[in-house]
Amino acid sequence: MDFRQIEYFISVAKHLNFTEAAKECYIAQQALSQAISAMEKELGFKLFVRSTRSVRLTPAGRVFLDDAHQLLNLYKTSIHNMKNASSGMMGTLNIGYSPAFYNILIPALPNIIRKNPNIGFSMIQDLSANMIKNLKSRALDVVFLASYQVDKDSEIEYEVIFKTPIALAVNKKHRFSGKEKVRVEHIVNERFILMDYGVNPGIYSKIIEDCAKSGFVPKDIITVNNFETQLLLIAAGRGVGLLPKHAGANLNLKITYLPVEGIGQEIELCAAWITNNKNPVLPIFIKNIQEEFNLD
């Protein structure tokens, strides 16, 4: 078996159609079918159930599909690392980050990049659920997000690098904006701007849970599908939000962040990575992050 055959298998599994897979792989359909049959013979089990009308994965095929993705990613990463080594590059690090922590993370990166001229850096802003998925598929090497989103996942290691309190974000002309802090009972009837549950269930559930622990559940809610829209609506006075205090700092938006008595939760920003990630530059980056944030 070779990696070309694994690519063929993944393509057939994706399309469940030999004709479409053959087109994607630029190979004759008969040759593709023969390659899959050769794989099945070598492995000793069927990967697909074929009929004149349909193609579907066998139970063994479904199990092998997960391994096939990892094998192919490992192969591509190895080739990439060898090319980097031959050109004097140590490697490339693919980094994902939550937009809510942009202002905490980004100031630390220029120093790290300057210290490591032989490392290539790729930055991707995304939702936490997508980042965790891409972390596990090895599309990302390290992600920055709230620790509660990964602290129960045995596949993931993480280190908390920053803590920031939950604060009430309001427009600077809001009746609360001149106060030093507000009490929970004062915000019960406010309109809340929240991330949509379908887009980011972790954030939505966290806010609702924190409110419930404080004795209320928001009644008037507007949901949005990205962090930037959430900030813009709050700045426009369309509602309030419960956000990490540092989330919108330095963005020149007309937003004030106020402590809320009764909601004393902190959000922990962490760096997270898969335990058995073999990227040789990952330990270097983690060490640099620890130094930038003065961690022991």
Q: Name every residue whose Cβ is closer than 8 Å to that of residue 241 and which is 6 or more positions away in sequence.
A: 168, 169, 192, 193, 194, 230, 234
From 69-78, 111-120, 181-190, 219-228, the region with the lowest mean pLDDT? 69-78
Q: What is the mean pLDDT of residues 268-278?
A: 92
| CATH domain 89-158+270-292 topology | D-Maltodextrin-Binding Protein; domain 2 (3.40.190)
So what's the pLDDT on residue 85?
Answer: 59
Q: Residue 191 in contact with residue 238, Cβ under 8 Å?
A: yes
Q: Which part of the chain is CATH 3.40.190.10?
A: 89-158+270-292, 163-267
pLDDT recorded at residue 178: 86
**What is the C-alpha separation between 67 and 61, in angstroms, rounded?**
10
Beta carbons of 295 and 159 less than 8 angstroms apart? yes
- Topology classification of domain 163-267: D-Maltodextrin-Binding Protein; domain 2 (3.40.190)
* CATH 1.10.10.10 segments of the chain: 3-84
Burial category of 203 from C-beta neighbours within 10 Å (exposed 0-12, middle 13-18, buried 19 and up): buried
Q: How many CA atoms lie within 13 A of 244 on its CB side?
A: 23
**190 neighbors 175 (Cβ within 8 angstroms):** no
Alpha helix positions (H), 116-200: 128-136, 184-187
CATH of domain 3-84: 1.10.10.10
- Confidence bin at 214 (pLDDT 50/70/90): confident
pLDDT digits (tens, 9 = 90+) for 160-192: 999 988 899 999 999 998 898 999 999 999 999
Out of 63-67, 141-145, 208-212, 249-253, give the one with best mean pLDDT.
Answer: 141-145
Q: What is the pTM of this model?
A: 0.66
